[in-house]
Amino acid sequence: MTETMAFVVDMLVHATPLVITGLAVALAFRAGVWNIGADGQFIAGATAAAWVGVSVPAGIGWLALIIALVAGVIAGAIWAAIAAWLRSRFGVLEVISTIMLNFIATYGASFLVRGPLQEPTHVYPQTSGIVSGAHMPILLRGTRLHWGFVIAVALAVIAWWVMKYSATGFRVRASGVNPFAARSAGLIDVSRVTAFAFVASGAIAGMAGAIEVSGVTFALYENISPGYGYTAIAVALLAGLNPLGVIGTGILFGALETAAGTMQRNIGIPSTTASVIEAIVILAVIAVAQLRANRVTTSA
């Protein structure tokens, strides 16, 4: 396998969780929900998938993978539902609650891998390996590239279609852009629609966590997410919240992170350079968007 090939594989492996969590963020933002908690929902999904992966009997084969993914989706949805409920019941801003829930998820996972779910020797802060039936099949023989990337692309296409062509997607977009008009002119139950989008966003982020465990780590570790859920915000914004665009921006950020590791190993450039570049990209995008908005207002 050539070096380029190895880089592409690594890039796509890195891009997979970024694309999926990016979709989760894009969906929420489209609905006017500021879900900053994709990271927590990712961890919740990863935790649930790992727990299922180590608990189910090895004899059930590939069913273990299905159960693990479903568990991840449900866990992510529940994690988001907590914030959605706090928002609708008490008016707690989701920007605050989701960030707090990120910390709870991070430290909750730390507790589990050092306590109840720790591997039997009690040496390492991680779970045992998940059963082989729960492993995501490999897409490209001899590499780490797994089917999760295909799932990510498929999810993006589905999300794009739903937002553009389905009645549900239209309600989500209308509620997100102008909840007042959605309510008054469209008679849409805006709080229900946004709560639905919030939970769906969490479910998608949870699925990303489950795919990471079943396709890459095969166990739950501390710090299983190096901040995917936060990078996802940049991925989604850079794509203009367009699900198809998220595929491209997810791969771009995947490449940046992969390259960061390579550069550090080979020529000693600090890997944090990638974070600097990411930040510059985000600032540039915001600046361009603002410039465009200003031009529209002054010409109007």
Partner 1 sequence: MSDVALELASITKRFGRLTALDGASLQAMRGTVHALLGENGAGKTTLMRIAFGMLRPDSGSIAVDGTGRSFASPADAIAVGIGMVHQHFTLVPAMTVAENIALGGRGSFRPAKIRDAILALSERTGLAVDPSARIEDLPAGAQQRVEILKALSRDTRILILDEPTAVLTPTESRELLQKARELVSNGGTAILITHKLRDALEFADDITVLRRGSTVWSGRASEATEETLVAAMLGGERTSTEMQPVTAIATNRNATVLSLENVSVRDDAGVERLRYVTLSVHAGEIVGIAAVEGNGQRELLRVLAGRMRVTSGDVRIPAVVGFIPEDRHRDALIQDFSLRDNVALLGASTRRGVMGWAAIGRQTRELIRDYDVRAPDELTRARSLSGGNQQKLVVGREIEGSQTALVAENPSRGLDVQATAAVHARILAARDAGMAVVIYSSDLDEVLALAERVVVVHAGKVTEPSREYESIGRAMLGLPVS
241 binds partner 1 (CB under 8 A): no
Applying CB under 8 A, does 180 fall inside the site for partner 1? yes
167 binds partner 1 (CB under 8 A): yes
Long-range contacts, 62-70 (Cβ 8 Å, 24+)? 62/133, 63/133, 64/130, 64/131, 64/133, 64/134, 65/133, 65/134, 65/135, 65/136, 65/214, 67/134, 68/130, 68/134, 68/210, 68/213, 68/214, 69/207, 69/210, 69/211, 69/214
For partner 1, which stretch binds (CB under 8 A), given 53-61, 177-185, 199-207, 260-268?
177-185
Does residue number 90 form part of the binding site for partner 1 (CB under 8 A)? no
Decide whether 2 or 298 has the Cβ nearer to partner 1: 298
CB of 244 to partner 1, least distance (A): 18
Q: Is 223 in the site for partner 1 (CB under 8 A)?
A: no
Smallest CA-to-CA distance from 94 within 84, 79, 103, 104 is with 84
13-32: contacts with partner 1 (CB under 8 A): none
Is residue 187 within the footprint of partner 1 (CB under 8 A)? Answer: yes
13-32 per-residue burial string, b: 16 or more CB within 10 A, e: under 16:
bbbbbbbbbbbbbbbbbbbb
Q: Is 185 in the site for partner 1 (CB under 8 A)?
A: yes
Binders of partner 1: how many residues, by CB under 8 A? 20
**Which two tokens mark 262?**
């390579």
Q: Which of 46, 54, 152, 188 binds partner 1 (CB under 8 A)?
A: 188
Residues 182, 220, 234, 237: which binds partner 1 (CB under 8 A)?
Answer: 182
| Beta carbons within 8 Å of 183's beta carbon, 6+ residues apart | 190
Q: Is 108 in the site for partner 1 (CB under 8 A)?
A: no
Question: Of the two residues 40 and 169, which places its CB atom closer to partner 1 in the complex?
Answer: 169
* Separation between Cα atoms, residue 262 and residue 268, nearest integer Å: 9
Q: Which residues bind partner 1 (CB under 8 A)?
A: 165-167, 169-171, 174, 177-178, 180-189, 300
